[in-house]
Amino acid sequence: MQPAARLPDLRNLGVSLRILLLTNLMALIAAILRSGNLNEILPALAELSAALQPILLLSLLLLYACQPVLKRLPYRWSVLVILALELLISSLSYYFAISIFGPDSMPPLSHSLILTLVITGILLGYFNLRQRALSPAVTEARLQALQARIRPHFLFNSINAVISMLRSDPKRAETALMDMADLFRVLMADNRDLVPLAQELALCRQYLALEKIRLEERLAIVWKIDSMPPDAMIPPLVLQPLLENAVYHGIEPMPEGGEITINIYASHDQVHLLLTNPYHKQNEHHNGNKMALTNIRERLALHFDAEAQLTSKISEHSYQVHIVIPYHRNKAA
Partner 1 sequence: MSAAQLKILIADDEAPARNRLRELLSEIADVVVVAEAKNGKEVLALAAETSPNLLLLDIRMPEMDGLEAAEHAQKLEPPPAIVFATAFDAYAMQAFDKNAVDYLLKPVRLERLQTAILKARTLLPAQLEALKALHPQRSHFSVSERGRVFLVPVADVIYLRAELKYVTLRSKEREYLIEDSLITIEQEFGERFLRLHRNCLVAQAYIRGYEKHHAPDGECHWVVLLKEVPETIAVSRRQQHVLRELGN
The residues of the shown chain that bind partner 1, judged by CB under 8 A, are 152-153, 155-157, 159-161, 163-165, 167-168, 213-216, 252-255, 282
In terms of CB distance, is 36 or 152 closer to partner 1?
152
- What three-state secondary structure class fits 237? coil
Q: How far is the CB of 151 from partner 1 (least distance, A)?
A: 8
The nearest distance, CB 293 to partner 1, in angstroms, is 21
Rounded Cα gap, residues 257 and 277, in angstroms: 10
We find the least distance from the C-beta atom of residue 255 to partner 1, in angstroms, to be 4
What amino acid occupies position 137?
A: A
Which CB, 288 or 326, lies closer to partner 1? Answer: 288
Task: Kindly give the residue spans of alpha helices, DSSP state H, lying in the chain.
Answer: 13-34, 38-72, 75-101, 109-147, 152-165, 170-188, 197-215, 239-245, 287-304
The half-sphere exposure of 127 on its side-chain side, counting CA atoms within 13 A, is 21
The C-alpha atoms of residue 236 and residue 130 are separated, in whole angstroms, by: 28
Q: How far is the CB of 157 from partner 1 (least distance, A)?
A: 4
Nearer to partner 1, 127 or 319 (CB): 319
In the bound state with partner 1, the residue whose beta carbon lies nearer, of 2 and 282, is: 282
- Separation CA 274–CA 311 (nearest Å): 10
Is 41 or 215 the residue whose CB approaches partner 1 more closely? 215
d(CA 176, CA 162): 7
C-beta of 37 vs 282, nearer to partner 1: 282
Provide the minimum distance between the beta carbon of 277 and partner 1 in the complex, in angstroms, as a whole number: 14
Cα 111 to Cα 91, 238, 239: the distances in Å are 11, 56, 59
User: In whole angstroms, how close is the CB of 181 to partner 1 at the nearest point?
Assistant: 17
CA gap 200, 234 in Å, rounded:
8
Closer residue to partner 1, CB minimum distance, 64 or 154: 154
Task: With CA atoms as reference, report the closest residue to 264 among 289, 280, 243.
Answer: 243
Q: State in angstroms the smallest separation of the CB of 54 from partner 1.
A: 55
Phi-psi bin for 273: left (phi > 0), alpha (psi -120 to 50), beta?
Answer: beta
